[in-house]
A = this chain, B = another copy of it.
């Protein structure tokens, strides 16, 4: 068993109203010095069996077709821990 993380973020050129809302709220709440906030999604996948190149290729394909909308989003696949 291993955990693989897929981080999905809006592409830099795509407007992120959620992140902007957070960023604008921060000074009001007393937190200064944050110039930008982007909000995205994090998927933690528990993978049966070893995370070899074939498994990673499959997860990459899954992220591309299903977890991220690659027209507006970028994603990163990371192996977090082997158990």
Question: What is the size category of the interface that chain A forms with chain B?
Answer: 20 to 34
CB < 8 Å neighbour of A35 from B8, B46, B55, B65? B46
Task: Show the binding face of A for B, using Cβ within 8 Å.
Answer: 1, 7-9, 19, 22, 25-26, 29, 31, 33-49, 55, 58, 62, 65-67
User: Which of A8, A36, A55 gathers most chain B CB within 10 Å?
Assistant: A36
Copies in the complex: 2
Residues of B within 8 Å of A47, CB to CB, are 33-35
Q: With a CB–CB cut-off of 8 A, which chain B residues contact A49?
A: 33
Give chain B residues whose Cβ lies under 8 Å from the Cβ of A29.
62, 65-66
Is A38 a contact of B33 with CB atoms below 8 Å? no
Q: Is the CB of A43 within 8 A of B33?
A: no
Docked complex Cα distance between A25 and B44 (Å): 15
